[in-house]
């Protein structure tokens, strides 16, 4: 399965509106010249610049809107790099700063995506200089990256770390280490992308060295940052794409299972560190979404898609703020039953707001996958829009219309088609929906739905004018806790894929109620209330519809006894 090209997808509605809102945020003053370039004392060289450029490049392609300030940023970029062509301090031979390496992963990703988008040689030259002068000199050092807890203990005898990571005092061997434990491995994401373009053998050696040491790490025991873990998995999966090494896919599955079991909150966000549920970080939530989809792409296991939908609608959904940026929240389920923005971290404008642009763009791009070999296409994230689908038998243009995830009807109309052979259309069908109540119609006539690996399939010749409609129940349901470390004996309330949180009324933590006691207030908006009570429930993903002041004070219960 391959994602359809950006140019072949045009969406509208909720996901597009969220992307445009984020786009607008990333064209405010903080993300324009000269402020987009951090001053010399910035302890994350390349990070702000790389994240911003990457987000703008991705949003431009997913929305079709040309960035207002990107050309100027790219023009300024070479003048802001040091004598060796990267950001920050030029360290002596045999030394490595993990925050500098981490930040340049985003710069590498940005340059790679910009080059692929524009065919621009200037961005490719920046990428080459960063690899040649910053990455290749640290070969041999990743073998000696400290993976013992003792190297991370602060003077107070405990792990440190604020919302913006900082370097620890002194060095551990050759390494300047960060309170964002393991952020050096974020570089796997950028390095593997650069390798796909350059194919330099010495870069492959570094990547293999990084992966070999990553395999050895006790991620939970070292309280590894989950963002670092998930960004590393993105790189490992990309290298699997490049090399076909099956052990890399197995590694990604194993580590992602650890993350979902011990690093994920009850609304599909994240603990910022394993074993330390202090706040969430949408940077990591974006990475978890991408990893889940990529694992589905490689394994066809529907459970990964359901995780990805949970992450997209509930983790990222609640994390996006009314101004389009993204912020940190409390870790629902770790300490209590409530979900609310983390005090003082309502918007992480220095990192998460930019990463949100990549995440929303990916959600749009993941709307359609094609399988040329089998003559099939899949719609894993139903959304309103038009798609131009190319298969071995020709091309077709299809319009998808849906109110998912609030309602369960997906309509696919073939507007134009040159395909004269049967193709298979695969429409996502989750395990929580009742297959016995599913309905499939083709040109208004009932057809027998075929269920396969998380999809309803229809196979036929996609003639111009063909209409395929699939409907499935999207109903209230209970869901058990996700994280093995969450509060025991709790459960969450869902409308299909949408987590519901309490609004108004008394604290429901001790209230016992059944689904039969809930009545809809607004069926189209998935709002319910308990009969005879002031307590109501609505999707948590709608935080961004509130005024900024109201959203900052939001607090809703999401776990119940």
Condensed to tens digits (0 to 9), the pLDDT of residues 305-346 reads: 999 999 999 999 999 999 999 999 999 999 999 999 999 999
Q: Please state the separation of Cα 307 from the chain's center in Å.
A: 11
pLDDT digit string, tens, across residues 164-209: 788 998 899 999 999 999 999 999 999 999 999 999 999 999 999 9
- Encode 161-174: b = buried (16+ Cβ within 10 Å), e = exposed: bebebebbeeebeb
Helix H or strand E encompassing 298: helix 282-299
Would you place residue 7 in the very low, low, confident or very high pLDDT band (cuts 50, 70, 90)?
confident
Q: Is it the case that residue 239 has pLDDT exceeding 90? A: yes
pLDDT of residue 508: 52
Task: Answer yes or no: are the C-beta atoms of 291 and 230 closer than 8 Å.
Answer: yes
Q: What is the DSSP letter of 487?
A: P
pLDDT of residue 158: 53
Q: At which residue do the structure tokens 């190297």 appear? A: 151
Rounded CA gap, 364 and 234, in Å?
18
Of 226, 221, 217, nearest in space to 272 by CA: 226
Would you place residue 266 in the very low, low, confident or very high pLDDT band (cuts 50, 70, 90)?
very high
Rounded CA gap, 386 and 537, in Å?
33
- Encode 284-294: b = buried (16+ Cβ within 10 Å), e = exposed: bbbbbbbbbbb
Find residue 400's DSSP bridge partners.
385, 412
pLDDT of residue 181: 94
Would you place residue 160 in the very low, low, confident or very high pLDDT band (cuts 50, 70, 90)?
low
pLDDT digit string, tens, across residues 143-155: 999 998 776 665 5
- Other beta carbons within 10 angstroms of residue 209's beta carbon come to 17
pLDDT digit string, tens, across residues 249-262: 999 999 999 999 99
- Other beta carbons within 10 angstroms of residue 523's beta carbon come to 12
The model carries a pTM of 0.96
Task: Answer yes or no: are the C-beta atoms of 346 and 321 closer than 8 Å.
Answer: yes
pLDDT of residue 156: 44
Task: Read off the tokens for 61.
Answer: 């392609």
Backbone angles phi, psi at 418, to 5 degrees: -115, 10
Count Cα neighbours of 306 within 13 Å in the Cβ-side half-sphere.
Answer: 17
- Other beta carbons within 10 angstroms of residue 112's beta carbon come to 23
pLDDT of residue 532: 83
For the chain, the C-alpha Rg in angstroms (whole number) is 23
Find residue 450's DSSP bridge partners.
457
Residue intervals of the chain classified under CATH 2.60.40 are 371-402+408-471
Give residue 498's region: left, alpha or beta (phi > 0; psi -120 to 50): beta
pLDDT of residue 216: 96
CATH number of 371-402+408-471: 2.60.40
Cite the beta strand spans of 331-406 per DSSP E: 338-339, 369-371, 376-379, 385-391, 394-402
Lowest pLDDT segment from 166-170, 211-215, 303-307, 431-435: 166-170
Q: Is it the case that residue 157 has pLDDT exceeding 90? A: no
Query: Mean pLDDT over residues 413-435, rounded?
Result: 96
Of 321, 328, 365, nearest in space to 345 by CA: 328
Of 481, 371, 477, 466, nearest in space to 432 by CA: 477
Find residue 440's DSSP bridge partners.
447, 470
- Other beta carbons within 10 angstroms of residue 547's beta carbon come to 9
Q: Is it the case that residue 117 has pLDDT exceeding 50? A: yes
The pLDDT mean for the chain works out to 94
Helix H or strand E encompassing 255: helix 246-262
Would you place residue 222 in the very low, low, confident or very high pLDDT band (cuts 50, 70, 90)?
very high
pLDDT of residue 507: 55
Query: Mean pLDDT over residues 473-492, rounded?
Result: 94
Residue count of the chain, please give it.
561
């Amino acid at each position: 399965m391959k994602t359809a090209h950006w140019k072949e997808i045009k969406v509208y509605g909720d996901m597009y509106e969220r992307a445009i809102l984020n786009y607008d945020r990333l064209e405010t003053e903080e993300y324009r010249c000269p402020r987009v370039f951090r001053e010399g004392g910035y302890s994350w060289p390349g990070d702000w610049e790389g994240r911003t450029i990457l987000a703008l490049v991705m949003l431009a392609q997913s929305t079709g809107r040309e960035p207002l300030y990107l050309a100027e940023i790219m023009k300024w970029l070479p003048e802001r790099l040091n004598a060796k062509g990267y950001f920050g301090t030029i360290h002596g031979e045999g030394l490595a700063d993990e925050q500098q390496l981490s930040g340049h992963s985003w710069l590498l990703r940005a340059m790679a995506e910009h080059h692929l988008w524009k065919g621009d040689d200037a961005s490719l030259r920046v990428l080459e200089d960063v690899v040649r002068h910053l990455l290749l000199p640290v070969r041999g050092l990743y073998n000696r990256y400290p993976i013992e807890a003792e190297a991370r203990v602060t003077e107070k005898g405990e792990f440190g770390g604020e919302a913006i990571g900082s370097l620890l005092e002194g060095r551990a061997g050759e390494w300047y280490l960060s309170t964002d434990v393991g952020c050096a491995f974020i570089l796997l994401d950028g390095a593997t992308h650069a390798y796909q373009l350059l194919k330099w053998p010495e870069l492959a050696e570094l990547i293999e060295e990084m992966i070999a040491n990553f395999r050895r790490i006790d991620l939970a025991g070292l309280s590894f940052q989950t963002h670092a873990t998930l960004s590393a998995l993105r790189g490992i999966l990309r290298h699997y794409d490049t090399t076909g090494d099956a052990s890399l896919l197995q590694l990604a599955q194993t580590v992602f299972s650890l993350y979902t079991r011990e690093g994920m909150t009850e609304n599909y966000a994240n603990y910022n560190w394993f074993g330390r549920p202090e706040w969430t970080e949408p940077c990591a939530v974006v990475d978890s979404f991408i990893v889940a989809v990529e694992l589905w792409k490689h394994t066809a296991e529907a459970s990964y898609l359901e995780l990805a939908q949970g992450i997209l609608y509930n983790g990222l959904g609640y994390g996006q703020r009314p101004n389009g940026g993204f912020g940190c929240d409390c870790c629902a389920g770790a300490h209590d039953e409530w979900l609310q923005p983390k005090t003082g971290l309502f918007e992480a404008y220095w990192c998460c707001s930019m990463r949100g642009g990549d995440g929303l763009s990916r959600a749009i791009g993941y709307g359609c996958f094609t399988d040329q070999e089998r003559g099939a296409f899949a719609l894993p994230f139903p959304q309103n829009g038009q798609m131009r689908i190319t298969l071995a038998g020709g091309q077709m243009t299809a319009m998808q219309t849906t109110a998912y995830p609030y309602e369960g009807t997906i309509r696919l109309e073939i507007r134009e088609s040159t395909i004269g052979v049967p193709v298979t259309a695969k429409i996502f069908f989750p395990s929580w929906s009742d297959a016995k109540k599913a309905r499939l119609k083709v040109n208004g006539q009932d057809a027998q739905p075929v269920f396969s690996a998380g999809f309803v399939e229809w196979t036929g010749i996609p003639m111009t004018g063909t209409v395929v409609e699939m409907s499935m129940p999207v109903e209230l349901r209970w869901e058990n806790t996700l994280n093995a470390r969450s509060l025991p004996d709790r459960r969450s309330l869902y409308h299909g894929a949408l987590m519901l949180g309490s609004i108004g009324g008394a604290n429901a933590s001790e209230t016992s109620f059944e689904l039969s006691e809930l009545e809809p207030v607004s069926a189209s908006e998935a709002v319910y209330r308990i009969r005879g009570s002031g307590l109501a429930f609505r999707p948590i993903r709608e935080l961004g519809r509130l005024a900024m002041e109201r959203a900052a004070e939001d607090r809703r219960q999401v776990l119940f006894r």
